[in-house]
Amino acid sequence: MTDVLVVGGGPAGLSAALFTAKNGLDTAVFDTDGTWMHKAHLFNYPGIGSIDGSNYLAVLREQVDDFGVDRHQDAEVTAIDATDDGFTVTAEGDEHTADYVVLATGANRDLAEDLGCAFTDDDVVDVDVTMETSVENAYATGAMVRAEEWQAVISAGDGAAAALNVLTKEKGEHFHDFDTPATAEAVMGSLVDD
Ligand SMILES: Cc1cc2nc3c(=O)[nH]c(=O)nc-3n(C[C@H](O)[C@H](O)[C@H](O)COP(=O)(O)OP(=O)(O)OC[C@H]3O[C@@H](n4cnc5c(N)ncnc54)[C@H](O)[C@@H]3O)c2cc1C
């Protein structure tokens, strides 16, 4: 059983996976690589001057891999069910179980609908400020929770917010992921070797 299962590997999904894996939760990502980032060139991602969207994605994928995310590339999730123990997700004919799911499927909201998540009057997935849906321990992030107003940095922020809320539930107290220059070496030493 995985702690956190993320569906979608754009900025939202990989950001969520980065924060949960970095802070000790077993995290898997399933992604079909249809992210809009392959069509984008970023000039408006704070802290990054200019980067091709596919290059941004390559850096982000390497970043999550370094923190031990189990990334299933080109693997489609075809079903998701809430169970008494959490969630069961079907991908490529195999079932995977997890305590938490983070949906990050871009503007495609089919899985959220299948899971029974409530939608707003604008027909987007209804979430609170932590990105949790009406289904406990199921989060929705990125383009699927907004009618337009889509930007990569917003999606990445949504993923981080979902991850911090999962971490808060798991650790039992409000959690923030703060590093300092003094602790940076230890974090770098914890990275997964190739
Ligand atoms: C032409 C264009 C230019 C843009 N330029 C900019 C820009 O300059 N700056 C900016 O900030 N934003 C830009 N954007 C918007 C930006 O690309 C999106 O806001 C961002 O990609 C949304 O991130 P996301 O993670 O929510 O969704 P996405 O990036 O769409 O990622 C969703 C991922 O989920 C996967 N997926 C979906 N269903 C499943 C499933 N069932 N199983 C497994 N995986 C699944 C998809 O294949 C995809 O990889 C641009 C978009 C376009 C189209």
Nearest-angstrom CA–CA distance, 108 and 146:
11
- Print the domain residue range for 12: 2-189
Poorest-pLDDT segment among 22-26, 37-41, 189-193: 189-193
pLDDT over 90 at 183, yes or no: no
| pTM, 2 dp | 0.97
Confidence category of residue 194, pLDDT binned at 50, 70, 90: low
- Does an H or E element contain 49, and which? none
Q: Is residue 115 a part of any domain in this protein?
A: yes
Q: Is residue 10 a part of any domain in this protein?
A: yes
Q: Is residue 116 a part of any domain in this protein?
A: yes
Q: Is residue 165 a part of any domain in this protein?
A: yes
Domain with residue 43: its CATH number is: 3.50.50.60
pLDDT over 90 at 187, yes or no: no
The CB of 40 under 6 Å from ligand 1? The reply is yes
Q: What is the pLDDT of residues 71-85, one digit of tens each?
A: 999 999 999 999 999
Strands 51-52 and 41-42: what pairing? antiparallel
Taking all residues of the chain, what is their mean pLDDT, rounded to a whole number?
96
What pLDDT, on the 0 to 100 scale, is given for residue 190?
Answer: 84
**Ligand 1 centroid from CA 168, angstroms:** 27
Count CB-CB contacts under 10 A for residue 157. 17
pLDDT over 90 at 97, yes or no: yes
- Cα–chain center distance at 146: 16
pLDDT over 80 at 130, yes or no: yes
Q: Which atom of ligand 1 is nearest to the CA of 15?
A: 25
- Cα–chain center distance at 72: 13
Q: Is residue 194 a part of any domain in this protein?
A: no
Nearest CA to ligand 1 atom 47: 34
CB 147 within 8 A of CB 124: yes
Which residues pair with residue 100 across a beta bridge? 4
**Ligand 1 centroid from CA 30, angstroms:** 14
Nearest CA to ligand 1 atom 50: 40
Residues 120-143: b if buried by 16+ CB within 10 A, e if exposed:
eeeebbebeeebbbbbebbbbbbb
**Ligand 1 centroid from CA 35, angstroms:** 4
Nearest-angstrom CA–CA distance, 99 and 1:
8
Q: Is residue 172 a part of any domain in this protein?
A: yes
The CB of 15 under 6 Å from ligand 1? The reply is no
Domain count, the chain: 1
Nearest-angstrom CA–CA distance, 124 and 166:
22
Q: Which atom of ligand 1 is nearest to the CA of 76?
A: 42
